[in-house]
Amino acid sequence: MAERARGARIEWPTLALLALCYGGWALGTTWAAAAWLPLGIVVTGLFIAWHSSLCHEALHGHPFRNEGLNEALVFPALTLVVPYRRFRDTHLAHHQDSNLTDPYDDPESNFWDPAVWRTLPGWVQAVLRVNNTLAGRLVLGPLIGQIAFMAGDWRAIRAGDRAVAQAWLVHLPAAALVLAWVLWAPIPVWAYLLSAYIGLAILKIRTFLEHRAHERASGRTVIIEDRGPLAWIFLNNNLHVVHHMHPAVPWYELPRLYARNRAHYLSRNGGYLYRSYGEIFRRHFLRAKDPVPHPLWPRE
């Protein structure tokens, strides 16, 4: 009831961030790119990552109760390669907590079925092992994820999945709108593509260890007690178990909710906790946290 009451309001903080995000992205592609191209690339990449976090808010019903209004607010495809409706559908499927880390039924899982893993060529296994370090996830993760995502969607379209096909058709004008701006702006197309890759790489920091293999579904989701710049870019989604338990709560209420019930959330997720993203970089930049084949698969 409380979550529905929150959703009934217009969430002005989210609207303000959307305006700030589009303004920052526009400055990155114009003024910053003209002043010094590396600065423009980095600034644009940061705001592309932030926009993706705002897309995440939109698909969960923010800042309006109206789904169409929320989709319209994030319509420009700043990443160029991720259709909003596919992000929405796969992410909501990911919120079936009983399937978290499932190699088949969790669309956001990085684990493989061990039986399939054993059949992969050695070079593929080596690439995926590197991808399971944070450094690998930053450098290779966007490319690996995009190839897997698009290959899966292509199979679905060929099999006659109209929802997937429609999502890509709606995506075309959303990407064309962004490309038209880029062609007009001082930032070169190749530089914008690099910015988009940087934005997707930043998002890989958030998703790197959000979920672990655990017998209990409630023990699979992390808490990262970070309040720095990355927490802002991720809109407090680092408090991930809080978000999974209360997906209708807007980003700006998650820290307060966590502070009031910290012991409860840490009890629920079995103490799966990191103090900061700095800790994650120190521990896992070059060392994988998890094996690629799911260590508890198959589960009954």
Kindly tell me if the per-residue pLDDT of 5 is higher than 80: no
Q: What percentage of the chain reaches a pLDDT higher than 70?
A: 97
* pLDDT tens-digit map of 190-238: 999 999 999 999 999 999 999 999 999 999 999 999 999 999 999 999 9
* pLDDT tens-digit map of 79-100: 999 999 999 999 999 999 999 9
Name which of 267, 277, 275 is nearest 245 in CA terms: 267
Please identify which residue in the block is written with the tokens 């070059």: 286
- Report the distance separating Cα 279 and Cα 283, nearest Å: 6
**What end-to-end distance do the CA atoms of the chain give, in Å?**
34
In this prediction the pTM is 0.95
Name which of 241, 242, 251, 200 is nearest 60 in CA terms: 251
Residue 298's pLDDT is what?
87
CA distances to 117, 120, 122, 138 from 126, rounded to whole Å, are 11, 10, 6, 16
Residue 38's pLDDT is what?
98
Kindly tell me if the per-residue pLDDT of 19 is higher than 80: yes
Cβ neighbours of 119 (radius 10 Å): 8
- Report the distance separating Cα 217 and Cα 281, nearest Å: 26
Domain spans, the chain: 2-208
Residue 299 pLDDT level (bands cut at 50, 70, 90): low
What is the rounded average pLDDT of the residues 71-75? 98
Kindly tell me if the per-residue pLDDT of 2 is higher than 50: no
- Report the distance separating Cα 117 and Cα 58, nearest Å: 35
- Report the distance separating Cα 88 and Cα 86, nearest Å: 5
Please identify which residue in the block is written with the tokens 């009831």: 1
Residue 9's pLDDT is what?
76
Q: Which amino acid is at 219?
A: G
Kindly tell me if the per-residue pLDDT of 8 is higher than 80: no
Alpha-carbon dihedral angle through residues 7, 9, 12, 14, given to the nearest 10 degrees: 10
Handedness of CA 156, 210, 171, 63 (dihedral sign): positive
Longest dimension (CA), the chain: 58
Residue 300's pLDDT is what?
52
